[in-house]
Structure 1
């Protein structure tokens, strides 16, 4: 009996760590599952949120800087791939594919991106009372400011390099009009439209994190990141971290819009929407659905 219990415990541990179903163990003809199940994914979210909070401030801030830097690289690549593309479907596909490069670098490197922690941190908060509001606010602000500084830094370096040609800036100008079009109907209406658009954007980025965490190999993680990113780029859903990359380039390259218009008339309402979308539509929803599994994983980690 003791030997049988030991075998069962080992089997359960293997299933939890590697996502292999019990059925595949009992049936040799059935392949092992190549992804983590949803409850395991949300447990990973909570643990990643905890791990980010446990890092020293300098690490949090440096990783936020790298995430912001990757956003500008993604923005630049997004524009470069879409130059001269008239077919809308292909334009959206290539633009999204370019920006997904930035997100893939963020997710896989463990960098601290504002809109990702809008999913990871609330998942941990919803399932533990071990942290204070001051700790949360300090971490969130460090990510926000670090992302902006990192995005601006890469934009400055790119501008100083003189690497980009006129077609890039023409395409950038068109993109800015698309990002700022919400205020054609008035500032109040436009502000709330951006907020709602931001909710949808971080809902999708939350699912990008979901799919990326589910994957067990590098190819799966990149594909899992790419699909939701293409969707939010094609839909013109306002994502504050993404716009930090675009607007950093625009602030240095054109006077069509001022920096405070980018900040107060896009990034801030988009950020509020991003928090709502990530915290409620991903973290809270899945945390409630899998609350027993998540609490067990946190308690035993």
Structure 2
């Protein structure tokens, strides 16, 4: 047999092996972690590139979804006395709000705490990017969106007295730290770290999924955990507090902001930016192949 024949036979076997391998191995139904971090960076860049008007509309929309999530979390668990089932249903209800945010592309302050750092950690000209105006506008947009929906719900007269009684108990759980003074302020901060660590992982799992069912499931599991643990998530609390300001005078608006939203937001920045974005960006830095400003040079 000639050398050309041997080469041809070898190539035919290689082709056959490749076809067999593709036949036997099903297509992967999720993104691997390095691809997820890369997607985070791409989304962060896209958000920064949004025109201001479009960005504000998406921030308002995300805040609106938080109030809808808060409402659903109360309605779906109302009257349930078994604690485990209560937490499960309440978390499942709030997951509806986060699923709408993640899938619609709305801009949520706490999700941005994961996406933007992933972009900036992989960008060579970090200091040239002015993100603070964007961050602030997103935060304000989320609050305004949450309040807007709360006002519409109040005007609709749709909710029962039982709902408002249940809302009061939710607010008491969120504001219990106020009784601990300075210690309580820092407890909210630490609780905020835990909350956005989990919501960062919800974004991680949602990004990993490649179909709508997987995205909803990936969102739901971490949200149930953070709701059950009473971890303080500033975006989620915007939904509850917006209803609370309109329906009850037990707590003043500035108490919601100073004793919960501010420390929770600081904790959320740490939990999402460091424990999710920085952690995974560093862990998979050798695998990242992004278009965000740093290309890997392969030999």
CA shift, 1:132, in A, is: 4.5
Superposition pairs of residues 260-271 of structure 1, within 5 angstroms? 260-271=254-265
Q: Residues 108, 24 of structure 1: CA spacing in aligned structure 2 closer, same or farther, 3 A cutoff?
A: farther
Return 5+ residue gaps in structure 1 as ranges.
1-22
Q: How many residues align?
A: 277
Name the counterpart of 1:197. 191
Counterparts of 2:127 and 2:203, CA distance in 1: 25
Match of 1:13 in 2: none
TM-score by length of 2: 0.89
Kindly name which structure, 1 or 2, has the bigger radius of gyration based on alpha carbons.
2
CA–CA separation in structure 2 for the residues paired with 1:286 and 1:117: 16
1:293 CA drift (Å):
2.9
Match of 2:8? none
Cα deviation digits, residues 87-120 of structure 1 (max 9, x gap): 0011000100110000000000000000000000
Cα deviation, 1:40-61, whole Å, max 9, x if unaligned, reads 0000000100000011111111
Indicate conservation of the 8 Å contact 1:36/1:215, yes or no: yes
Partners of 1:194 and 1:143 in 2: CA distance: 21
- Specify which of 229, 242, 248 is matched with residue 254 of structure 1: 248
- Structure 1 CA distance for aligned equivalents of residues 110 and 194 of structure 2: 12
Q: Which residue of 2 aligns with 1:115?
A: 110
Cα offset, 1:82, TM superposition: 1.2
In the alignment, what sits opposite 1:286? Answer: 280
Please, what TM-score do these two structures have when normalized by structure 1? Answer: 0.89
Matches within 5 A, 1:1-301: 26-130=21-125, 132=127, 135-184=130-179, 186-299=180-293
List runs of 5+ in structure 2 lacking aligned partners.
Answer: 1-17
Instruction: Give the deviation of 1:295 after TM superposition.
Output: 4.8
Backbone CA RMSD of aligned residues: 1.6
